Structures are given as C-alpha cells and as structure tokens.
A and B are shown apart, each in its own frame.
Chain A
C-alpha cells in the first residue's frame, strides 16, 4: 500500500551543527506534508508543514523542502541544540481533515 519512509533511522550531530532529516513518500496524490517531533513518552509535536504547491518553507531554525519530482521531503534544523534530540516523523495527507500517514521516523541525537 501507500507508505512514507525515511532513509536514516538514526542521525547523530554535534551541537551547533545543522541537521538534515529526509523522508520519501509514495502517494503522489498527497498535497500536505507535516514534520513532527516526538519526545519519549509524549505525543507528536508539530514542527512545520508545507503544501504541495510549495517547494520550501521556513520557520524558526527549521526549513522544510519538498521535491515533488522525486517525492522527497526534508527537514533542516539549523544550529542543532540538545533540546532537539527526539524522534522526527514526516507525515503526508490529503488535507480537509483526511487521515495522515506517518513515516518510519528518525532518531536525532545531539552530541555535546
């Protein structure tokens, strides 16, 4: 069936470096993509989203890039901090209250 997958299950970065987390999606009909951060024992926390009619969107220290040609999504975190350590999920959906499909997740570890 349709799925959203990640290339790297674990990513270790030095504090202060930039982090890039990747995601591949397979449903070309998806028009809405979200990145979530999940800390241990907690629910997902919204980070940033992007619509399919956009290629890039920036937030505070985070940037999401969408490449529809190769069905690829990435999350860039600038100046990674220890508090950024968590599991990051991409999710895709059709909008309008439709269900989200989550990727497999990437564990981000920030080393001091």
Chain B
C-alpha cells in the first residue's frame, strides 16, 4: 500500500533554532500533503494543506512565517519550524492524499524544544 516516510522520528533542539521535518511518498505521487500537530492526549489539528508546486494553505491561527512548508516535488514535502520555542514542542504528523478517499499518514515526529 501507499507509504509516507517521515523523518526524523524525534528531534530535540535549542530554543531559537529551526527544525526541518521531511515527508516522502514512497510509492505514490503526493499531489496534496497535509500537516498536523498533536499535543499530548489531544486530537490531530490540521496546520496546513500543501499542494505540489504551489503555496500552502494554512489553517486559521497557524503562523505561516513560523511553519514553513515546501512541496516542490510530488514525492517530498517539508515542514520547517523556524525560531522554535518550548511551546512548539509537539508531535507533528504528515498525511498524503493517495486517492479521492484515501489518506496515508507518516509515523510522526516528536519535537522537543529546550
């Protein structure tokens, strides 16, 4: 089946630095990729929707200058958390739209900002 490979699985960074998270579609072309954030014991909250070759669409309340999304190819989408702060510590998950009603999720990235 369709697989999205997400890396890194976990990362610790210092406050003020930037972190890049990558999601690669291994056996399908991810025209659309969704990025979610999940705090402990909470649901997945959609941050943004990215379409290959165009600017991402951010959900209300999500700072586009802080969470930079690049979707330059059909197999790679990246999320960069810029100038990270402790409140950005969370579990970030990407999801690729495989088909009209199909979605596949990455394994997630645990970000801890110290």
Q: Do A and B bind each other?
A: yes
A residues at B contact (CB < 8 Å): 32, 34, 36, 41-46, 49, 51, 89, 95-97, 99-105
A42, A95, A99: the one within 8 Å of B101 (CB):
A95
State the interface size on chain B (CB cutoff 8 A): 24
Quick check: B43 and A99 within 8 Å, CB to CB? Answer: no
Contact between B43 and A100, CB atoms less than 8 A apart: no
Q: B46 contacts the other chain (Cβ, under 8 Å)?
A: yes
Q: Specify which chain B residues have a CB less than 8 angstroms from the CB of A46 in the assembled complex.
A: 103-104
From B43, which residue of chain A is reached at the shortest CB distance? A102
Query: How many pairs of residues, A versus B, come closer than 8 Å at their CB atoms?
Result: 49
Tell me if B101 and A100 are in contact (CB < 8 A): no
Q: Report if A43-B97 is in contact (Cβ < 8 Å); known contacts: A89-B44, A100-B46, A101-B46.
A: no
B97 CB contact (under 8 Å) in A34, A97, A102, A103: A97
Which residues on A sit within 8 Å (CB–CB) of B101?
Answer: 32, 49, 51, 95
